Structure 1
Amino acid sequence: MSYWMMVASLPLLPAIMLALGHHRARAAQLCHVALSWILRLLQGQVCAKSTHAFVFSRCTHGNASSVLEAFDVYAETHASAAVGPQIGEALNQVVKRVQPSKVLELGMHCGYTSVLFLRLLPPDGKLFTVEQDPAVADLGEELILVAGFKHTQFQVLTGSSGDTIPTLHSLLGVAPGTSDTFHLVLMDHDPQQYLMDLRALEKEGLLCPVGCSIVVILRNQKDKVLIELIEMTQAKPDCYTIKSLIPGMLELFYQKKRTQ
């Protein structure tokens, strides 16, 4: 959805409320949700444009470390959707430990974690990054290229996580439930989608059955999604364990244990 389409939709919200008449309370709730969604997208675009302009002008092109450093410098004085150096270092340690060849990233946020992952992937590794906002996806893709990576090393998928997950089998070109599926998944998109998307990834057989780390970014430690994820691991101890929990990040480990 373009900027102007989103702006043009704002005046329609009161009309929707009036049109629904006796369902006005429900309409008000729906309008609030729609307005919040629109404003979140607009805010994300503004943040991404500002971040992109700063990083593009400050970094050394072709140098991934310089790109990440520029992101961190920007975050010191500006509100930023990038995870920042502390979580970034934790992610570095996860990647070095897991040594994945296929990584799925849900939520691009201008490419910070994309560059971080690509810098540590093996030559034959590949990153699939999903971003709902096309404008943000374009900006993030450009910074990945600025960092020195090629299109053969990553693929940007524009759309919602719910719509994209069922298409990943054809993109991977592997059978469900094999070791050639994803070894590492990062969730940094809509927290309300975390649990639903994790279940979808498991159902679709996209999590490597011999071991897959799922890293969940928790921008609000009090969000109920953390409790829901912990409850899920407790309900499915044969598949999930909590690998680590630090401020801002939860790492789950998925392994399909064989039944005797």
Structure 2
Amino acid sequence: MQKPCIATPFSSYQETVPSLLQAVGAPGLLSRQSCILIKPNLVNASPPPVTLPVAACEALVAACRRWSKARIVIAEGSGDRDLSTGEIFQRLGYERLARRYDVDLVDLNNAELVELQNPLCEVFPTFMMPRMVMDSFVISAAVLKAHSLAEVTLSMKNMIGVAPPAYYQQGGHWKKSAFHAQMHRSIFELNRYRKPDLAFIDASVGLAEYHLGGPTCEPPVDKLLAGFDPVAVDAAGSELLGIPWQQVEHIRLADGLLGRAGK
């Protein structure tokens, strides 16, 4: 049975990731996929916990390979001003991971696109989405972090990486700057077009105040979270940061429409 959200104590990625995915009921669903896209949070080239540790992604790849014959893709579209996604893959060890497991690395900033439309969306009534994101089983692999504009950056916020800069770099140096003016509604609307099929949050450490650095959570949160309801997973993650999910507008907007945040 597929579970909306489970949080489990962290021991190691090698041990905890597969046991967590088993607990949420992932193996059977993964076995039926033809392409699995793992979308790590690689916002820039900073080391963890700003970015997803390559060891966490490796554990996800190994679990997918164990349970599925699907093509496995690690895909990201970094927002960094100076570095390409490919350079960030290289600096953070993702190229070595891809070679070891014979998986593909994809820069979503330059991927083939498809135009989507939703008249219920106010900020993005149309959205240019990488076709691969629509055609794959998407695992959003986030890191537990507070965020200066979005309160938290978790599995739904992590999906901003799919937005192509050719359309969503609108002023400023950040490659996804079109999301800034109405950050919460933009996150919500993006996830109306494409929410993760499986949400994963590395909460082994956590960033307590700011998504690009600053103090880590003390003591470390020491958990991993996963589930098939990204709203429930993000609500649980927000609570681990000491932020009631009801205070996070994009989670509140998504509650009841894209999933259930819970009590």
**TM-score relative to the length of structure 2:** 0.40
**TM-score relative to the length of structure 1:** 0.40
Q: Whose radius of gyration is greater, 1 or 2?
A: 1
Larger strand proportion, structure 1 or 2? Answer: 2
The one of the two structures with greater contact order (alpha-carbon pairs below 8 A, sep at least 6) is: 2
